Structure 1
Amino acid sequence: MTMAVETLPEIPAMGPLLVRAAVTARGRHGDDVPERTLRVEDATVDRARLAAYQRITGHDVADTLPQAYPWVLASPLQTALMVRPDFPLALPGLVHLENRVTTHRLLDAADPLTLEASAGPLRAHRRGRTVGVRLTAHVAGDLVWESDSVYLGRGRGDEDTVRTGGPPDAPEGPARAVWRLPENLGRRYAAVSGDVNPIHLHPLTARALGFRRHIAHGMWTYARVLSALGRGSLGPSTSRVWFTRPVELPSTVELVARTGSDGSVAAVRPAGDRSRTSAVVVLEG
């Protein structure tokens, strides 16, 4: 069956989509993910918003897009896909488990991007069911960037599910960097990314959704690690991130990393605590 492609006139606003997600969360069911692609053609980069993103994630302010930035541009398409009535999982409560991103060439802010979002089948997980979401960016018909995300919908799981593809061990040794994350980091990142999920904005809204405190955006953590690993992440390159524990705000975290001929492995962990990690990132040149 050919996947249906629906072209939207522009990238939708994230705020109304999240409101719709909350209103329509109850009663979702089913085992089938619709075979549908949402597309926006000739999406342009707002250079002021890009510069703000680069500053908050530690990248140099320049016209070259950080590897995780097209995900920010395309994430409203992903959200629009998942709030459709026939999508089987409720968006509120979904847990972002991991991402794999490939940049096929350096991306310039002047490039007009055709962005697409589609979702794959549901898969069994020991804590519920997972769904994969694919985002892509094309320039003049050429695939220049792609991302595959995995999300967990918590519920009755399958304890016999074989766990595969987990993160590598975190590097040993002293911290390469220590980052003090302010209480307002989630609100600041939301302002530049458009991701206004309430679990990132304030302790009260986070507690209403089951968290002790509000937490940093996983995609901020990912981008911050990539910037620390250097300009090689800008592309052509592939990186992968596993989100293992939330980063609560405010907090102090540290980065550990090792680099070899085949790339880099890095991890973010609470400062002074080598027994836990919040995210593990692998970067391949």
Structure 2
Amino acid sequence: MTIDWHTLNREPGLPGLYAHAATRRKITGTTLPASGLRCWVDVDAKRLAAYRKVCGFTDNSLLPPTYPHILAFALQMQLLTARDFPFPLLGLIHLSNRIRVLRPMGGVGRVRVSVHVQNLQPHAKGATFDLVTTLDDQLGALWEAESQMLCRGVKLEGESVEDVLASTLTLTQVAQWKAPVDIGRQYAKVSGDYNPIHLSAASAKLFGFPSAIAHGLWNKARTLAALADHLPSANIEIAVQFKKPVRLPSEVALLASAAGSSGELQLIGAGDLEHMVGHWRPVA
């Protein structure tokens, strides 16, 4: 796939993008745009510190492995609210997320963020696509990720193929924590992601949820913060699938295999309700 890259001089403003998202409610096609966005972004120390606090990361001089999602969020929003993007942003469901930390992310002050979409596939409930994000610094590729997104109601030719992550190793509980009723609002302040399903029970009910639910990427970030001494700091791929949402407030437990270059994890709630499963391994 050849990508037509557009370079921005500065990060887009989120208020205007949310206004665009609120007015886009219809599916307008079944073809993904072949364009992508790039922009140099500065790491803001205060915002980073606030993110560490909300997600449980200690300050070890490295960017948290999930923090590049925050640096890319405005660019992702602009891409997914553009006229040539065929699906409404509101209502997209985040099914899975895979990140690769290619080099240690220490001393990072300015990075080039790139975002594009690819891999449109039929799904039993609609269609999925990958939102691809990469970070480069002056030395080259630093970090990359794919988020698989589902748009309900899209009809594509072909058979649905779904990857399923499942635990094959013995897992033991390594941590537990509470997801307070306001964690969606806390995470929104540091991430910019003000999706109504995360903010309050009242706003979540407008979209069919009985209560607010935690951001999937907060669940992943909080998990990786708890596993910080468990995982390598670079040359690592961490993939998760989001299962049942974490309703707010909740208490969850993290299970994981032994520390090492490869392993598996599982996030569960009351009654062994499975919220997230995943694995880590060296970058191929």
* Residues 184-224 of structure 1 deviation map (CA, whole Å, 9 limit, x = unaligned): 11111111111111111111111001111111010000011
Give the distance between the partners of 1:125 and 1:174, measured in 2 at CA: 33
Report deviation, 1:234: 3.2
* Residues 208-265 of structure 1 deviation map (CA, whole Å, 9 limit, x = unaligned): 0111111101000001111112243532311001001111101111111112655221
2:20 is matched with: 20
* Residues 102-136 of structure 1 deviation map (CA, whole Å, 9 limit, x = unaligned): 01111135431000100114210011001111100
- Alpha-carbon spacing, 1:10–1:234, altered in 2? closer, same or farther (3 Å): farther
Give the distance between the partners of 1:215 and 1:246, measured in 2 at CA: 6
Conserved 8 A contact 1:13-1:76: yes
Report deviation, 1:20: 1.1
2:113 is matched with: 115
TM-score normalized by structure 1?
0.91
Q: 1:56-67 residue pairs with structure 2 within 5 A?
A: 56-67=54-65
1:47 is matched with: 45
Percent identity of paired positions between Structure 1 and Structure 2:
33
Match of 2:281 among 262, 268, 284: 284
Give the distance between the partners of 1:261 and 1:181, measured in 2 at CA: 27
Q: 3-state DSSP class of the match of 2:218?
A: helix
Q: 3-state DSSP class of the match of 1:282?
A: strand
- Alpha-carbon spacing, 1:166–1:157, altered in 2? closer, same or farther (3 Å): farther
Q: 1:19 corresponds to which letter in structure 2?
A: A
Conserved 8 A contact 2:171-2:264: no
1:35 is matched with: 34
1:8 is matched with: 8
Match of 1:165 among 160, 163, 166: 163
Conserved 8 A contact 1:170-1:266: no
Q: 3-state DSSP class of the match of 1:87?
A: coil
Give the distance between the partners of 2:169 and 2:179, measured in 1 at CA: 22
- Alpha-carbon spacing, 1:165–1:182, altered in 2? closer, same or farther (3 Å): same
2:184 is matched with: 186
Runs of 5+ in structure 1 lacking a partner? none
Q: 1:188-267 residue pairs with structure 2 within 5 A?
A: 188-231=186-229, 232-259=231-258, 261-267=260-266
2:67 is matched with: 69
